[in-house]
Amino acid sequence: MIKITQVEVDEAIRLHGLWLKGDKTGQRADFADKDLSGLDLRGVNLSGADLRFTNFTDVDLYCANFTDADLYCANFTDADLKEVNLSGANLRFTNFTDVDLRFTNFTDADLRFTNFTDVDLYCANFTDANLSGANFTDANLEEANFTDANLSGANFTDADLEEANFTNADLRDANFTDANWGGSVWINAIYNGNTIFPDFRTNMILKV
């Protein structure tokens, strides 16, 4: 994996901005299989960029824009992603271990089999996201929004779901063992016989 410097990434982002505007002198950012660890990427616009297998370990990405970016198998360990926009992004198998994801926008993102173990996702927005097989063990999901999300086979063991919104979410085969459900909303959520609930079960789930 090739290590990229701050100067190199700044120039690539400048050209990417021109590409986004349709300028012929611009070029789509391609950091696939590159090492960006430790860099300062606060507020950058990498929407639509190729970021497959990219290493973002310990990167400051506060308020960055990754709309529709390809982040397949990217590594965000110890990165700061507060208020980042990841709507529509491909995030399958992405590693978010020990990442700050408060207020992050995951609307319509592909998050199948993504690892959110022990992650702070306070007020994160997962509306219409595909989270099939995702791992939320020990995650903080207070006030997170899962409206219309696909959570089939997801693992929420020991997660904090206080005041989270699961309206119309697909919970089939999901595991909520020992999760905190206090004040959460489950209107018309779907589950099956393989869904594992904590001791307390709301009466607002529609079983199909």
What's the pLDDT at 181? 87
The DSSP element (H or E) to which 6 belongs, if any, is helix 6-20
Task: Please count the other Cβ atoms lying within 10 Å of the Cβ belonging to residue 20.
Answer: 17
- Both tokens of 138, joined, read 């020990």
Helix (H, G, I), strand (E, B) or coil at 160: strand
User: What pLDDT score does 184 carry?
Assistant: 93
What confidence score (pLDDT) does residue 206 get? 45
pLDDT confidence of residue 163: 96
Distance CA 93, CA 72 (A): 6
Over the Cα atoms of the chain, what is R_g?
18
* Residues in CB range of 35: below 8 A, 6 or more apart: 1, 2, 3, 4, 54, 55
pTM more than 0.85:
yes
| Residues whose CB falls within 8 Å of the CB of residue 69, separated by 6 or more in sequence, listed in order | 46, 47, 48, 49, 50, 51, 86, 89, 90
Q: What is the pLDDT at residue 166?
A: 97
**What are the phi and psi torsion angles at 140 (to 5°)?**
-95, 110
- In a 3-state reduction of DSSP, which class is residue 14? helix
Nearest to 116, CA basis, from 91, 99, 102, 104: 99
d(CA 167, CA 125): 13
What's the average pLDDT block by block, 10 residues per block, for the chain (208 residues)? Answer: 96 98 97 98 98 97 97 94 95 89 96 92 97 96 98 97 97 96 92 84 46
Q: What residues form DSSP beta bridges with 120?
A: 100, 140
Q: Residue 198 has what pLDDT?
A: 76
pLDDT at site 208: 43
